[in-house]
Amino acid sequence: MQLTGFLLWVGASVLITTVGNALFRFSWFNQDTNMVKNVKVGIVMVLSEVLSISYVLLNKAQGIFGLWGIQIYPIEDAIFSGILISGGADFVYQIYATITSFKEKIKAEAESSKAIAKDLSKNLDRKIGD
């Protein structure tokens, strides 16, 4: 199987999302402030750039754009690839967050249904006993 620009982009985006999720589990990142959001974006961009630049320069390989047939200097390819990877990582994270949110919603609805059924059962038993 040959590495293509799309595979490199998807793989690197998933890798950055996974590493970012592991880093963002610390309690400081759970605060809902603009500073924390900006720091998260900065970390994802730095990780993406480091990954992209080190991949291109250490392996003497083409970046995403080079694999797509766009011939530019390797360092520029690495920088632009890093920007593309950080955008892809955000996209992958949004999919992950949507799935997680949907699972939590279904779980909450199931618990709510159980509580309502239990309450109705108690009320029905009380009325039958009267």
18 within a domain of the structure (yes/no)? yes
45 within a domain of the structure (yes/no)? yes
Q: Which domain holds residue 13?
A: 5-101
9 within a domain of the structure (yes/no)? yes
Determine contact, residues 12/45, Cβ cutoff 8 Å. Answer: no
- Inter-CA distances, 42 with 6, 31, 82, Å: 24, 16, 12
37 within a domain of the structure (yes/no)? yes
Number of structural domains found in the chain: 1
Reading the chain (130 residues) residue by residue, the pLDDT tens digits are 677 788 888 889 999 888 888 888 887 877 878 888 888 888 889 999 999 999 888 888 888 888 888 888 888 989 999 999 999 998 988 898 899 999 999 999 999 988 888 888 887 777 776 5
- Inter-CA distances, 124 with 19, 110, 115, 121, 128, Å: 52, 21, 14, 5, 6
Which H helix or E strand runs over 68? none
Q: What's at 66, amino acid-wise?
A: G
- For residue 31, the 8-state DSSP code is S
111 within a domain of the structure (yes/no)? no
